[in-house]
Structure 1
Amino acid sequence: MFTDPRSWVVSADMERLVAEFEKFQAKIKTAEAKFGGVGEMQDQLAQLEVAATSPDRSIRVTAAAGGTVTGIQLTPEAMRQSAPALAAAIMSTLRAAVAESARRQAAIVDETVGSAFGVTISDQVENAQVMGTVTQEPPSQREERRPLSSDDDEPGEDTIFRQPRY
């Protein structure tokens, strides 16, 4: 008894489909293993807190994940500085705390996700810090500000409050 050659094609196609499905299942298992630690990562990020201290140890700034400043402490020595010197020292210490927070946050994400997306978050944070882009406000969040004119309290022609002329 001979088998129909068309059944060989169907059989080969079925084997190919089964092999593709098995590859797909393996990728799903890899992704589940990779992203299974997301809950733990979120817990680590929620607990992240970094402290930076000024070189003279008179200022201490703490920052959490996302660069959120959670505290600023000043010693009596800090208060003896001139206002511009104190402001500069606070800003410098604040930037150090926020930058370290970003580095640690990136390390936590990299540890969990790894190179699943083909990029290393830590490298991107480091590059951004070297280029000086971390402390700048993203263009999408900058407000367009126009200079105030003397008649800003009155509706002008460029406002929605302009009176129609009949």
Structure 2
Amino acid sequence: MPGEFEQLVAEFERFQAGVRNADDRFTGLGAMQQQLTELRASAASPDGGVTVVTGPGGAVLDVKFTEAALAKGPHALSAALLATLREAVGEAARRQAVIVEEAMGDDLGLVDQVLETQAVAFGTTVEELRSKLPDGTPQAEDFSEQRVLRPADPPTAPPAPGPSAGDRFLRTLFDEED
């Protein structure tokens, strides 16, 4: 009987840990949403003549040209604008992926997926794009599989057919009172 009670307590603790994990993730959603709303990324052309600022989802928020960029003519200006737009939108996507991964965990490898896709699309390497991620970007640690108070319980054998451990415990408890 003591073994059954300990098993019930362990099951209850695992259930509570799952609830705490879900609560922690939902708590982080509000902060994640705020960070995504405030997201800004900017890029400038190599000569500094074109600057583009983007927001969430790569939305273009601002475009600035210098007099020197305007003087280069429409074809050069167009090429500089498109290249700078790609860079700014790509930066916004990378930052969004980092924010989401920090809040939700890296189970999906979201940042890696974005980097791999952009490397192919932009004709560069994942390492080059990774170097453009914000310095000091904290990586979320996943503590969901770690025990806090004691080491993990050894694996339990599947329950035998018949009444559950909880049913047997309650029957034994009431039988002892008679």
For the aligned pair, the TM-score class normalised by the smaller chain equals 0.5 to 0.7
- In the TM superposition, residue 34 of structure 1 has moved relative to its aligned partner by 2.9
Rounded to whole Å, the distance in 1 between the matches of 2:109 and 2:22 is: 17
Q: Which residue of 1 aligns with 2:20?
A: 29
- In the TM superposition, residue 120 of structure 1 has moved relative to its aligned partner by 2.3
Q: Which residue of 1 aligns with 2:100?
A: 109
Q: Which residue of 2 aligns with 1:85?
A: 76
Aligned residues: 121
SS for the counterpart of 1:60 is: strand
Rounded to whole Å, the distance in 2 between the matches of 1:52 and 1:61 is: 5
Report the residue type matching 2:54 in the other structure: A
Residue identity (%): 43
Structure with the higher helix share, 1 or 2: 2
Taking structure 2 as the reference length, the TM-score comes to: 0.61
Q: Is the 8 A contact 1:64 1:70 kept in 2?
A: yes
After alignment, is 30-39 or 95-104 more displaced? 30-39
Rounded to whole Å, the distance in 2 between the matches of 1:129 and 1:28 is: 36
Q: Which residue of 1 aligns with 2:110?
A: 121
Ranges in structure 2 where 5+ consecutive residues have no aligned partner: 123-178
Structure 1 stretches of 4+ with a deviation exceeding 3 A read 14-19
Q: Which residue of 2 aligns with 1:60?
A: 51
- In the TM superposition, residue 38 of structure 1 has moved relative to its aligned partner by 1.0
- In the TM superposition, residue 41 of structure 1 has moved relative to its aligned partner by 1.0
Rounded to whole Å, the distance in 1 between the matches of 2:30 and 2:117 is: 27
Q: Is the 8 A contact 1:35 1:112 kept in 2?
A: no
Rounded to whole Å, the distance in 2 between the matches of 1:127 and 1:28 is: 34
Taking structure 1 as the reference length, the TM-score comes to: 0.66
Q: Relative contact order (alpha carbons < 8 A, sep ≥ 6): 1 or 2 greater?
A: 2
- In the TM superposition, residue 100 of structure 1 has moved relative to its aligned partner by 0.6
